[in-house]
Amino acid sequence: MTHVLRFLIGLTLGLAATQLAAARAQGAQPAAPGPAMVEIPGGPVELLFPVEGEEPVEVAPFRIDVLPVTNAEFLAFVEAHPEWARSAVPQVFAGPGYLAGWAGDLDLGALDPAAPATQVSWFAAAAYCEARGARLPTEAEWELVASAGLEGPRGVDEPGYRERVLTLTTNRAPVPGPVGQGEPNHYGVHDLHGLVWEWVFDVGSSMATGDSRSEGDRRLQLVCGGGSAGAVDKSDYAAFLRYAFRSGLEGGYSSGGLGFRCAG
């Protein structure tokens, strides 16, 4: 039994390594010493719910991880930064679900080392990226990368894009498999839709409105059907799911379906 498990883990690790090598061969610039990142040219990003009177978010060029951070990588982080161990982290930075699937402070237990690190709070994810000299991507940056198709930077221009993303988003395995198995997008970035939700730097910020007196209106606009007329693209249901999911997040929250990657 354990032999079979070892074999499977070895196989998945091997596959992940192959994918990683493929991503590098495609021109991805590996950042020393961290994992591979790619350059993303900046540009305007139209958030799903633009605020009236505000300009589209202009994103400056940045770099982003080709793959989500894995369990093995997060374990190495906790080993180097024991204050983020399950038994040591203050309650204010991580709720009771934090690393709940691990067998111990420094023991992944039955978790696949090559699977995305989940059950990680926003504070822990941000600390991980900071320790790497990086940061979490902003919501606008993440959406910019995720809006690319397989062929070009505008997925909506490709036939079947919406359907593919929605299928990936809603068909995730309850326990995510190894990273890097999904097809890379135009930028060479993997697993944006098919594995897990991902933390962004400006958690909760998409709901803040410019006019203090209409505070909360945007949140209602997002979640209430009648208000969805304000959305830029009403047919992008996967985007609705992402924005709705993110809007409910708080910094100490963690779950088995929520991971992260870093940007810089």
Q: Which is nearer to another protein, 74 or 161 (CB)?
A: 161
DSSP strand pairing (258-259 vs 57-59): unpaired
Binding mask 55-94 for another protein (x = CB under 8 A): x-xx-------------------------------xxxxx
Shortest gap between Cβ of 69 and another protein (angstroms)? 17
Shortest gap between Cβ of 204 and another protein (angstroms)? 5
Shortest gap between Cβ of 251 and another protein (angstroms)? 4
Whole-angstrom Cα distance, residue 219 to residue 75? 36
Closest CA to 234 of 141, 146, 156, 126: 156
Q: Does 115 bind another protein (CB under 8 A)?
A: no
Binding another protein by CB under 8 A: which of 251, 259, 261, 263? 251
Whole-angstrom Cα distance, residue 23 to residue 30? 10
Beta strands (DSSP E) in the chain are: 29-30, 36-40, 43-45, 57-59, 62-65, 197-198, 258-259
Binding another protein by CB under 8 A: which of 52, 163, 183, 233? 163
Whole-angstrom Cα distance, residue 209 to residue 125? 26
Binding another protein by CB under 8 A: which of 9, 34, 245, 264? 245
Binding another protein by CB under 8 A: which of 135, 153, 181, 264? 135
Whole-angstrom Cα distance, residue 93 to residue 78? 14
Shortest gap between Cβ of 140 and another protein (angstroms)? 10
Q: Torsions phi, psi of 197, nearest 5? A: -70, 160
Q: Torsions phi, psi of 31, nearest 5? A: -90, 125
Q: Does 157 bind another protein (CB under 8 A)?
A: no
Q: Which stretch binds another protein (CB under 8 A): 17-25, 51-59, 62-70, 178-186?
A: 51-59
Q: How many secondary structure helices (H) and strands (E) does the chain include? A: 7, 7
Whole-angstrom Cα distance, residue 14 to residue 226? 49
Q: Does 235 bind another protein (CB under 8 A)?
A: yes
- Which residues in 166-195 contact another protein (CB under 8 A)? 166-167, 170-172, 174
* Contacts of the segment 207-211: beta carbons below 8 A, 24+ positions apart: 207/247, 209/51, 210/51, 210/53, 210/54
Shortest gap between Cβ of 222 and another protein (angstroms)? 8
Q: Does 201 bind another protein (CB under 8 A)?
A: yes
Residues at the interface with another protein (CB under 8 A): 51, 54-55, 57-58, 90-97, 122-123, 126, 130, 135, 162-163, 166-167, 170-172, 174, 197, 201-210, 212-213, 215-216, 219-220, 223-226, 228, 234-235, 237, 240-241, 244-258
